[in-house]
Structure 1
Amino acid sequence: MSPASVPFRLVRAAVFAVVCVGLGWGAHAFGGGSVAPGMVAGALGGVFAAACPLSGRERAARAILPLLGGAQAVLHVVFSLAHAASPVEMPADAHAGLVPGLGMLVAHGWATLLTGLWLARGEALFWALLRRLAVRLLLVRLPVFWTPFVMVRTARPVVLRGAVLRYAVSRRGPPMVVDLF
């Protein structure tokens, strides 16, 4: 890992962690669960630590979706355990058990799919921007290393003379009328 790539890796891992934990926390809160801020910070640190080694190169949607889905499953279990350990628990809470119901699975699936596609599009745009910046920097620095061929200039300019070709036929004007009778 080069020192120049460290900021890019950290930014990409941080974006993934914030989106992933934000999605899990928001879905958990929407389902009626409560999560302590310390648990959210711990989950953010854990997802960030897991995403850092994977942020070295461009990832497509087929790589982002399973990572996001796995992280969502782990966050669901962690948030459910934290909620079950809390002293005040609502009896009709959808997050009370570790095994989610069909509605929760569908909601997690759709949220993961949409968020994963959104992250994949952002990833593609980020790498396209980096490529364009690299080309732009290369073009700016290219004249320093590249010198065009040198043209030798003469003291007098060369005079071009019109040349009349012997076998040239001028066909300008209207066609000639030929009377055959």
Structure 2
Amino acid sequence: MFVTSSFRLARASAFAAVCSGLGVVAHVFAGGTVTAASAAGGLALAFGIALPVTGRERGVRTILSLLGGGQAALHMLFAVTCPVVGHAGAAHPHSGLLADVAMLTMHGWAVVLTALWLARGEALLWSLLRRLGARLGPVLLGEPCPAGAPLLPPSQGGPGLPRLSALRHVLHRRGPPPRRPVFLSLVPGL
């Protein structure tokens, strides 16, 4: 499928917003602080990570590795640019080995759940684009309809009668045929 540069920029921006937002929220939740400059730098970093791979549909593995790498890079960026000083450092997750394990566990769960969410959105987006392309592609490209081809498929009931097709979710069961109304049985040929 042909992908325009504006579509790639929009996808990379969405990934960068989710990735940097997750990193900022996790860092602040753990007791750290984030300045506006480091948050903007994190957004630019996540955008730079995502932009090269936005040319086609990506699966869970790719999204998970990109998000995990992005979270690791954002964690290091926030740890360097926003150091914890004073007695607040004792409660920060960087203060001990046990806290580091808890922090890695929290980051891991957040990354996995967010990657699954992003992968589901990615699959939905590409499914929608494929469907729209199949329906609107010939119209937008100006491909003419063959002469004499009907615009709508013919109905099963003949001309002028309503279409009698079953829905996909209707169950067909064996049994006697459905009863016809009395007035139809009086008309010959029906």
TM-score (norm 2): 0.69
Unaligned runs of 5+ in 2: 150-190
Structure 1 residue 149, shift from structure 2 partner: 5.7
Contact 1:83 1:89 (C-alpha < 8 Å) held by counterparts: no
Q: Say if 1:48 and 1:88 are closer, same or farther in 2 by CA, change over 3 A.
A: farther
Unaligned runs of 5+ in 1: 151-181
Q: Say if 1:31 and 1:89 are closer, same or farther in 2 by CA, change over 3 A.
A: same
Structure 1 partner of 2:75: 76
Contact 1:80 1:95 (C-alpha < 8 Å) held by counterparts: no
Q: Say if 1:7 and 1:32 are closer, same or farther in 2 by CA, change over 3 A.
A: same
Opposite residue 111 of structure 1, the aligned amino acid is A
Structure 1 partner of 2:162: none
Structure 2 partner of 1:93: 91
Structure 2 partner of 1:18: 17
Larger-gyration structure (1/2) = 1
SS at match of 2:88: coil
CA RMSD of the aligned region, Å?
2.5
Query: Which is bigger in relative contact order (C-alpha 8 A, separation at least 6)?
Result: 1
Between the aligned partners of 2:106 and 2:5, the Cα distance in structure 1 is 35
Between the aligned partners of 1:38 and 1:119, the Cα distance in structure 2 is 26
Matched pairs, number: 147
Structure 1 partner of 2:120: 121
Q: Say if 1:79 and 1:89 are closer, same or farther in 2 by CA, change over 3 A.
A: farther
1:5-53: CA deviations, max 9, x gaps?
Answer: 1111001000000000000100000000001011000110121122111
Opposite residue 109 of structure 2, the aligned amino acid is W
Opposite residue 74 of structure 1, the aligned amino acid is A
Instruction: Work out the percentage of aligned pairs sharing the same amino acid.
Output: 46
1:43-73: CA deviations, max 9, x gaps?
Answer: 1012112211111110000110011001101
Between the aligned partners of 1:98 and 1:72, the Cα distance in structure 2 is 20
Structure 1 residue 138, shift from structure 2 partner: 2.6
Opposite residue 130 of structure 1, the aligned amino acid is L
1:127-175: CA deviations, max 9, x gaps?
Answer: 111111111213535884231469xxxxxxxxxxxxxxxxxxxxxxxxx
SS at match of 2:90: coil
Between the aligned partners of 1:142 and 1:74, the Cα distance in structure 2 is 44
Runs of 4+ more than 3 Å apart:
86-89, 95-100, 139-144
Structure 1 residue 103, shift from structure 2 partner: 0.6
Single out whichever of 65-74 and 130-139 deviates more from structure 2: 130-139
Contact 1:64 1:116 (C-alpha < 8 Å) held by counterparts: yes
Between the aligned partners of 2:47 and 2:94, the Cα distance in structure 1 is 26
Between the aligned partners of 2:96 and 2:5, the Cα distance in structure 1 is 37
Opposite residue 94 of structure 1, the aligned amino acid is H
Q: Say if 1:87 and 1:126 are closer, same or farther in 2 by CA, change over 3 A.
A: same
Contact 1:28 1:95 (C-alpha < 8 Å) held by counterparts: no
Contact 1:80 1:97 (C-alpha < 8 Å) held by counterparts: no
